[in-house]
């Protein structure tokens, strides 16, 4: 009588274990990369929120002068804002007095001991109030 019940050889078992170890290592590498990407994404999201708040607050309260402005948000994030006017050939030509500004904002922080930066560029228009026209005498302007 001959038996056809043959089991796995030691070599086949070792090959299967090696293949399983390779797959497990690849999955662990992908999981580690995913976690690192999540941490990095968190830094960029926070920088974006800080930048958005600064730009909104700056143009509502009072407009900064042209030039370079610097500051910090907290102990981790700091910012540099460059406000400039575009060249004359790029200026807006409208019937309303508008002035165009280019705002270049860079937010910097450290991640894992290495410096990281995110740059945000926008154009803003500011309407300038025309000088008040003099009120003719007797028109009820002054009482």
In-domain check, residue 1:
no
The larger pLDDT score, comparing residue 132 to residue 68, is at 68
Structure tokens at 138: 């007797």
Q: Predicted confidence band at 68 (pLDDT cuts at 50, 70, 90)?
A: very high
Mean pLDDT of 67-90: 86
Tell if the pTM clears 0.75, that is, is over it: no
Domain of 47 in residue numbering reads as: 10-126
In-domain check, residue 137:
no
For the chain, what is the domain count? 1
Return d(Cα 118, Cα 128) in angstroms, integer.
31
In-domain check, residue 87:
yes
Return d(Cα 56, Cα 37) in angstroms, integer.
28
In-domain check, residue 132:
no
Closest CA to 105 of 122, 87, 93: 122
Share of the chain above pLDDT 70, in %: 74
């Amino acid at each position: 009588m001959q038996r056809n019940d043959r089991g796995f050889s030691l070599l086949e078992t070792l090959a299967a274990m090696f293949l399983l170890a390779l797959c497990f290592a690849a999955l662990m590498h992908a999981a580690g990369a995913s976690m690192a990407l999540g941490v990095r994404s968190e830094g960029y999201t926070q920088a974006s929120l800080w930048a958005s708040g600064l730009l909104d607050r700056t143009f509502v309260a009072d407009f900064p002068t042209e030039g370079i402005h610097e500051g910090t948000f907290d102990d981790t994030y700091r910012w540099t804002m460059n406000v400039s006017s575009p060249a004359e050939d790029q200026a807006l030509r409208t019937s309303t007095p508008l002035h165009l500004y280019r705002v270049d904002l860079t937010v910097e922080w450290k991640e894992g001991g290495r410096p990281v930066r995110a740059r945000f560029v926008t154009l803003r228009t500011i309407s300038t109030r025309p000088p008040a026209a003099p009120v003719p005498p007797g028109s009820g302007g002054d009482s």
